[in-house]
Structure 1
């Protein structure tokens, strides 16, 4: 791939992965709009690995707690860290099961531009409705319950459809459950860690088995550039949500969806 194409895709991925505007939709649409050949799922996931590193660095305390909780679970220790780790796993199971069941459709049928336009608009409206409830929300991520984990996990499975936005749908679900805007974002981004890690591990195995050194180099470059842009995007979003609403993201989704309908119809 040309470096400029990798750079554009990496910046787009980094900026959109953790904002509630669907990174997968943008990664599918950018090549269409620029006339580039679709980069394929392997490069898509390499970009996700770069953003995974960014979210783990930003939420390093939560990441350390999840790792510690994993060891506590293995050693049968009943700790807060173990409880959090188990709930994150519970919230991750639905999307992993759905990913296996609909693997072929995810790589083909679900990447249709008109479907992306429809989901971009529909779930933008859903985010707006949930955001209205957040004005009086006080719940914190530290108070997560099993019910919350399961419900948000089921919502997360919908994000396999491009345009829904994994971060967007999980933030929407968390807002509806009574979490404040910053805490809903924290909930959504921490849940991204195991999901993206699993996808990245599978993609890495495919890269190694392919034996294509050029593809491997492209993936490394893409991941590195995505890491830098994602870290900046997370910092900016968390700062914004401490003092403002999701309205700009809703407006962007609606405008993007309408534009896509106009272009592709």
Structure 2
């Protein structure tokens, strides 16, 4: 997977890390939409005058805008002999001047705004649009999800879920490891179910917080898990073990997962944590 960045403007000085953040936004969006290696996207930074010209020429709109996407979906031979073809998805053109104004108006930094516009542009390359209310809602939800997975935003309802996990962590039974873990899952209905780790002198009988929470949801007749929060009082991020990942994958590989410790917060989709999961469902 390749992101080729061109800076064709001079009005806005690129902050340190902006190109890396924007490239990561493009790569993560493509990965979440099922694209792997052998894909190339061009990300071009221009000024208001140039993006206005492009907007007028290709969309018939004579004004500057923040981002334009030009799909290609064409294959070309790989640069390395023997390598497979490269799929050129297209170009994303961002006006840094407009992005800077929007960042100031919305109260966040330029790197965040450009990352969001990059995600928006990639989704357009992949066929997402916002011509009607339903398509707008679908695209906006996808953008929010990806920004959260990039660590730039929180999941919708994340605060409530983390709070529930933190509260139940206090009930953890962990006399052997001394590590207390709380977990909370949210189902499609909006219901929240919690669990904490329950250790045992026979270590193999220990129950992880994530499976206890998932079991509570299933016992209540709700298997459509959509989000999971895991909270620990240790500095090290306590991500779900392999067994918990497999158990949760059974119900929804698209589950949004957030880990919270005093050291920080990380976010993933479950299928990112368990690639090539064991699955008996028919494809």
The verdict on a shared fold, with TM-score over 0.5 as the criterion, is no
Give the TM-score, by structure 2 length.
0.24
User: Which structure shows the bigger proportion of residues in helix conformation?
Assistant: 1
Give the TM-score, by structure 1 length.
0.25
Larger CA Rg, structure 1 vs 2: 2
